[in-house]
Amino acid sequence: MAAVTIRGLTKRYGDNTVVEGLDLDIADGEFLTLLGPSGCGKTTTLRCVAGLEKPDAGEISIDGRVVVSGRTFVPPEKRDAGMVFQSYALWPHMTVRSNVAYPLKMRRRPRAEITSAVLEALEMVGLDHLADRSVGALSGGQQQRVALARALVARPSLLLFDEPLSNLDAKLRASMRTELHAMHERVGTTSIYVTHDQIEALTLSDRIVVMQHGAIHQIGTPEEIYADPVDRFVADFVGFENFLTGIVVDVDTWTSVVKVDGFPTALLARSSKHRTFDPGDDVTLALRANNVTLTDFNAASAATSTSAGTDGIPATVTGVAYLGDQVEYQVKVGAHTLKSRMSSPVRWAEGDQVAVVLQQDSLLVVKES
């Protein structure tokens, strides 16, 4: 196993700087995920660690050995890393066994060692019964398992995954996710995993690095990233669907009171763990759709006071989408549109007057990205 250190990593393609001054420490045995939208530089970062790209600046060490720095460049095959790609990158005409054996053959390992290592790797991914099948005759999920066995066979100290589940259908992706997680728990190899899928990142990772435009927005455990996104970009990426901009009226360590134009009362929100805001500051409030509930409109109970509150805000339903076990509503509060997701059945129709309840502790103050 190996710790990985990245310092000041910078990579340009022509005038396009795709990774800029990136610093990152990955602990020995850690499963770390680079999460971000298409084009944010996560694959480029991974390929620089693998040795498939040469950075323009910066330093990378694996297990205390500098593999990139100034003129030093250790080629990929000497970095002791196994790689799994989205495209599998297998030889379809060769058997499962031959594909998995390939990295050891390249290293000219003795035949007996290759045979037992291949069997062990195939057992790890549950494919030992298909060792003599041609890879071209396997399903996508099975092919990705072969790719995984091939990455594991040489017992690398580092595993690098580039969106390995993207080509699989949703059901298979979910089961492979669980298997990958179990495999990491068992084998414990330091892993860097690239994805734009927040569920994959949340399920698999010890820590998640959220990236945009070649830079890091936030590093944290899945729970930290999910519950306390540092800014609007991260919140948006981990499923907060409602954003309101307002002005801080009052604030303490835990709670902020924020006035949002168009809302009859100021709103109570959870203060940011990442940054202190003061009264008068412009802030963004983030809120998940399943923390917005609707109730029947009742003029008497609707919030009319001037104190801070999150209950009974009068609103009009402007959209209804039936999702099976849930219903998604769009409601208008003043000029703001909010999304609400509640369990079925459908209770309101477009044009209905409702009262919006923002669940206590679910509104979060974040900084604008």
Ligand X SMILES: Nc1ncnc2c1ncn2[C@@H]1O[C@H](COP(=O)(O)OP(=O)(O)OP(=O)(O)O)[C@@H](O)[C@H]1O
Q: Which is nearer to ligand X, 193 or 329 (CB)?
A: 193
Should residue 33 be labelled a site residue for ligand X when binding is judged by CB under 6 A? no
Q: Which is nearer to ligand X, 96 or 200 (CB)?
A: 200
In angstroms, the CA 320 to CA 324 distance is 12
The answer to whether residues 163 and 201 touch, using CB atoms and an 8 Å cutoff, is no
Should residue 239 be labelled a site residue for ligand X when binding is judged by CB under 6 A? no
CA 163 to chain centre: 11
Q: Which is nearer to ligand X, 26 or 286 (CB)?
A: 26
Choices 34-42, 170-178, 182-190, 237-245; region in contact with ligand X by CB under 6 A: 34-42
Should residue 40 be labelled a site residue for ligand X when binding is judged by CB under 6 A? yes
Q: How far is the CB of 56 from ligand X (least distance, A)?
A: 13
Choices 35-43, 145-153, 202-210, 263-271; region in contact with ligand X by CB under 6 A: 35-43
Should residue 222 be labelled a site residue for ligand X when binding is judged by CB under 6 A? no
The answer to whether residues 35 and 198 touch, using CB atoms and an 8 Å cutoff, is yes
Choices 33-41, 112-120, 167-175, 223-231; region in contact with ligand X by CB under 6 A: 33-41
Should residue 44 be labelled a site residue for ligand X when binding is judged by CB under 6 A? yes
Amino acid at 340: S
Q: How far is the CB of 53 from ligand X (least distance, A)?
A: 8
Q: How far is the CB of 22 from ligand X (least distance, A)?
A: 11
Q: How far is the CB of 336 from ligand X (least distance, A)?
A: 32
Dig out the tokens for 113 from the structure: 């060692």
Q: How many CB atoms lie within 10 A of CB 8?
A: 14
Dig out the tokens for 205 from the structure: 């990772």
User: Count residues contacting ligand X (CB under 6 A)?
Assistant: 11
Q: Which is nearer to ligand X, 117 or 234 (CB)?
A: 234
Can you tell me which of 4, 6, 30, 42 binds ligand X, judged by CB under 6 A? 42
Choices 21-29, 32-40, 151-159, 184-192; region in contact with ligand X by CB under 6 A: 32-40
User: Which residues from 263-282 bind ligand X, rule CB under 6 A?
Assistant: none
Can you tell me which of 13, 73, 91, 322 binds ligand X, judged by CB under 6 A? 13
Should residue 83 be labelled a site residue for ligand X when binding is judged by CB under 6 A? no
Q: Is 147 exposed, middle or buried (0-12, 13-18, 19+ CB in 10 A)?
A: buried
Q: How far is the CB of 40 from ligand X (least distance, A)?
A: 4
DSSP category for residue 116: H
Should residue 201 be labelled a site residue for ligand X when binding is judged by CB under 6 A? no
Choices 36-44, 110-118, 282-290, 337-345; region in contact with ligand X by CB under 6 A: 36-44
Helix 96-106 and helix 111-124, axial crossing angle in degrees, nearest 10: 130
Q: Is 45 exposed, middle or buried (0-12, 13-18, 19+ CB in 10 A)?
A: buried
Can you tell me which of 196, 213, 259, 332 binds ligand X, judged by CB under 6 A? 196
Query: Hey, what long-range contacts does 259-262 have (CB within 8 A, 24 or more apart)?
Result: 260/285, 260/336, 261/334, 261/335, 262/333, 262/334, 262/335, 262/336
Q: Which is nearer to ligand X, 13 or 73 (CB)?
A: 13
In angstroms, the CA 73 to CA 76 distance is 9
Should residue 39 be labelled a site residue for ligand X when binding is judged by CB under 6 A? yes
35 beta partners: 195, 210
In angstroms, the CA 68 to CA 58 distance is 8
Q: Which residue, 167, 147, 76, 154, is CA-closest to 108?
A: 154
Binding residues (CB under 6 A) for ligand X: these are 13, 18, 36, 38-44, 196
